[in-house]
């Protein structure tokens, strides 16, 4: 009798497993809209199903693949979520794919609020804190397509260079291209934090001599930059000798001429930006009071560390 019950129980478990797999297959669909391949087209139906096999959130995000019809790439990000990293990376990739097919691919970076209309000739990438709901709450909406890829801040900060492999399928990157992108972005990321008018606030504090800038409460932070321990001129040399910098000098670094003076673009910009800070020019070259800046940043550090509430 017990053996019969055992057999019946095992059969029931097998039936449940097969049923679940069949539901996964039934709810998963792949279609082609225009010339852009889209997976999980029926996203609203998928999310409504109790058998959500994809694990995707309700963001209209699917697998969108680059193709010969794409002419415009949009990147939309919440400020301070690594949006410039994504924009620079996509700029390099757009240059690679544009040169492959002898055509120009425009890359447009935006911050919300914003409305976009997509289509077969456009792709959309986003950067958020946790999900694309962040963008919707900030007033961003889009129609006519899916998000090709969303960069999430927690994953990004844990391993920025790991992001590059997530673009491989979308753009059919070769092994050499992936390694060239990582080579470039490795050095670019250092200069992004340590140089230019948008450098790390802790680097700015170190330059102006804030008394707490080298305290363990600062240097012990996960997001501390280590800029002071680096030979930034050598990092500049390393970036400018990379394969991609040689192929696409400057063109991918900025959105327009007005942006060019705010970010690192060429050798010597590190020293120039540090001199600007010493002269009282802070974020985006805006004038700032060094004493007030140090006091405010120190208070923020103390709040983060739990000394103030």
Quickly state the pLDDT bin for 250 (edges 50, 70, 90): low
Can you give the residue ranges of every domain in the chain?
72-182, 198-305
pLDDT at 56 > cutoff 70: no
pLDDT at 76 > cutoff 90: yes
The answer to whether 131 touches 105, Cβ cutoff 8 Å, is no
pLDDT at 191 > cutoff 90: yes
The answer to whether 243 touches 183, Cβ cutoff 8 Å, is yes
For 204-224, the DSSP string reads HHHHHT-TTTTSHHHHTSTT-
pLDDT at 55 > cutoff 70: no
> Mean pLDDT across the chain, nearest whole number?
81
Summarize pLDDT for 256-309 with one digit per residue, the tens. Answer: 677 778 889 889 999 999 999 999 999 999 999 999 999 999 999 888 766 543
In percent, how much of the chain has pLDDT > 90? 61
Per-residue confidence (pLDDT) for residue 9, from 0 to 100: 55
Q: What is the pTM of this model?
A: 0.77
Summarize pLDDT for 105-122 with one digit per residue, the tens. Answer: 999 999 999 999 999 999
CATH superfamily of 72-182: P-loop containing nucleotide triphosphate hydrolases (3.40.50.300)
pLDDT at 44 > cutoff 70: no
């Amino acid at each position: 009798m017990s053996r019969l019950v055992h057999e019946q129980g095992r059969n029931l478990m097998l039936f449940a497993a097969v049923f679940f797999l069949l539901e996964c297959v039934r709810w998963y669909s792949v279609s082609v809209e225009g010339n852009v391949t889209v997976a999980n087209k029926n996203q609203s139906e998928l999310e409504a199903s109790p058998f959500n096999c994809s694990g995707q959130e309700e963001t209209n995000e699917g697998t969108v693949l680059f193709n010969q019809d794409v002419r415009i790439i949009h990147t939309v990000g919440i400020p301070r979520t690594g949006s410039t990293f994504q924009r620079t990376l996509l700029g390099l990739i757009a240059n690679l794919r544009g040169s492959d097919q002898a055509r120009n691919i425009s890359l447009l970076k935006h911050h919300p609020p914003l409305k976009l209309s997509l289509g077969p000739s456009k792709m959309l990438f986003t950067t958020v804190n946790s999900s694309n709901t962040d963008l919707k709450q900030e007033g961003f909406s889009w129609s006519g397509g899916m998000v090709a890829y969303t960069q999430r801040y927690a994953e990004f900060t844990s391993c920025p260079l790991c992001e590059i492999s997530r673009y491989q399928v979308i753009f059919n990157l070769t092994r050499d291209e992936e390694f060239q992108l990582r080579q470039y972005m490795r050095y670019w990321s250092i200069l992004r934090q340590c140089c230019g008018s948008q450098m790390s606030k802790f680097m700015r504090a170190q330059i102006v001599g804030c008394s707490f800038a080298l305290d363990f409460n600062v240097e012990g932070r996960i997001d501390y930059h280590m800029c002071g321990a680096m030979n930034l001129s050598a990092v500049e040399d390393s970036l400018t000798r990379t394969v991609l910098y040689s192929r696409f000098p400057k063109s991918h670094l900025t959105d327009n001429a007005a942006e060019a003076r705010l970010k690192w673009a060429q050798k010597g910009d590190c020293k120039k930006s540090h001199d600007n800070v010493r002269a009282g020019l802070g974020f985006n070259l805006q004038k700032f009071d060094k004493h007030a800046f140090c006091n405010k940043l120190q208070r923020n550090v103390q709040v983060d560390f739990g000394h103030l509430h």
